[in-house]
Amino acid sequence: MSKAIVLAFSGGLDTSFCVPYLQERGWAVHTVFADTGGVDAQERAFIEQRAAELGVASHVTVDGGPAIWAGFVKPFIQAGEGYQGQYPLLVSDRYLIVEAALARAAEIGTKAIAHGCTGMGNDQVRFDLAVKALGDYEIVAPIREIQKEHTEVRAYEQKYLEDRGFGVRAKQKAYTINENLLGVTLSGGEIDRWQAPGEGSRGWCKPRAEWPSETLRVTLKFEHGEAVALDGEKIAGHKLLAKLNGLFAQYGVGRGMYTGDTTIGLKGRIVYEAPGLFALLAAHRALEEAVLSKQQNRFKPEVARKWVELVYEGFFHDPLKTDLEAFLAASQRCVNGEVVLETSGGVVNAVEIRSPHILNAKGATYAQAADWGVAEAEGFIRLYGMSSTLWAEINR
């Protein structure tokens, strides 16, 4: 009998290749698609059809939306930082995919797990470290294996599938496309060649010529730093993010290019689109700036940057991440209120903030009015700058 193995499956080129590759090496392949909210019903149907066409032993689709909101989106928004100040960690669904695959492995009684990550990228680190943190499993990575003998890996995968009678979708021939509730990332083609992205490298975000003429305004309500309502309607987090993606993608919000330092030391260049996350980040940051103390606002980004680095580099289950999340959660106890977001296209701004926790001084408004006197202001300046002033006087 063939040995059972669970493959994290998306229906794309890499994971499609993995199925016959594993089968021809004696594995009975059980595929799992963790639907983290980035595909529609038509795409879900395609993925299920693709698994059947490839002849898998079984295929299941798992709803990963609630898990990705609670496990990633909530702490990410509360942290408020992208990797290297920019990238919004759009492939962090990998950790939830691992959990879904391991749950399926337990159901069918196997300790063998496969994934379609390459040997050049970061995802292999995320998958492998997450699996290792959660148990003792055999990890099989077909794409890494073929890279030992083939340099043009995507071309080899395409020919391998076509030689066995399996078609390859046109968009898969040009780019590596990752799509989930968090957003879309695209790499390959001219992006890898450090050239301007072609029109085929566009995901959800509309180009400028197609932006609506009317301004978009939405209101987000936060409780303890978590978005809980959109325009007055209470809604589950993953559904709220999906709605924001649809609204702000029409205005081209959240699209950018990013070149970063990858975990394994290469430079990674991608196009990304994250309209919903950019909207949430803008709203949360505006509310947080108004209700946190000066010292909180200064210190918190240091914690956030470390949390982001851990998640980016595969340490999703490291105890330090849990420790940092305890701090982040504590910092959010007064991050309550409503924020009005506005966009006419491209960027999103927080134009109104309503909260009982805004740190307003009753008798003073910045640069307008004060409830202290001139002598107090001059005394504060003298004492506040004493060290610097003394240095200047002594060393003139």
Which residues, including other chains, have CB under 8 Å from residue 83's CB and lie 6 or more apart? Answer: 89, 260, 308, 309, 312
- Give residue-wise pLDDT tens across range 270-317: 999 999 999 999 999 999 999 999 999 999 999 999 999 999 999 999
The count of other CB atoms within 10 Å of the CB of residue 167 is 12
**Mean of all residue pLDDT scores within the chain:** 92
Distance, CA of 314 to CA of 129 (rounded, Å): 6
- Give residue-wise pLDDT tens across range 248-261: 999 999 999 999 88
- Does residue 321 register a pLDDT over 60? yes
Mean pLDDT of 312-331: 97
Mean pLDDT of 5-32: 95
Distance, CA of 56 to CA of 29 (rounded, Å): 5
- Does residue 167 register a pLDDT over 80? yes
Distance, CA of 289 to CA of 140 (rounded, Å): 46
Distance, CA of 335 to CA of 226 (rounded, Å): 8
- Does residue 173 register a pLDDT over 80? no
- Residue 296, amino acid: Q
Q: Could you give the domains of the chain? A: 3-173 (3.40.50.620), 183-354 (3.90.1260.10), 364-396 (no CATH)
User: Which two tokens mark 188?
Assistant: 């390959």
- Does residue 164 register a pLDDT over 70? yes
Distance, CA of 280 to CA of 73 (rounded, Å): 10
DSSP string, 187-198: ESHHHHTT----
Among 121, 112, 90, 151, smallest CA distance to 3 is for 112
Percent of the chain at pLDDT exceeding 90: 74
Among 40, 47, 38, smallest CA distance to 16 is for 47
- Does residue 227 register a pLDDT over 90? yes
- Give residue-wise pLDDT tens across range 35-93: 987 678 898 999 999 999 999 999 999 998 999 999 999 999 999 999 999 999 998 99
62 forms bridges with which residues in the sheet? 34
Residue whose tokens read 């669904």: 93
pLDDT given for residue 91 in this prediction: 87
Beta-sheet pairing, 255-261 with 267-273: antiparallel
- Does residue 163 register a pLDDT over 90? yes
Q: Are 75 and 41 in contact (CB under 8 A)?
A: no
230-249 in b/e burial notation, b at 16+ Cβ within 10 A? Answer: beeeebebbebbbbbbebbb
Q: Which of 68-82, 158-172, 361-375 is predicted most confidently? A: 68-82
- Residue 34, amino acid: A
- Give residue-wise pLDDT tens across range 93-149: 999 999 999 999 999 999 999 999 988 778 899 999 999 999 999 999 999 999 988
- The H or E element containing residue 339 is strand 337-345
pTM: 0.88
Helices 237-249 & 275-291 angle (0-180, nearest 10): 110
Which residues, including other chains, have CB under 8 Å from residue 118's CB and lie 6 or more apart? Answer: 14, 124, 143, 144, 147, 153
Strand intervals (E) in 23-67? 27-35, 58-63
Distance, CA of 101 to CA of 199 (rounded, Å): 34
pLDDT given for residue 363 in this prediction: 67
Among 111, 120, 159, smallest CA distance to 139 is for 111
Among 131, 132, 178, smallest CA distance to 14 is for 178
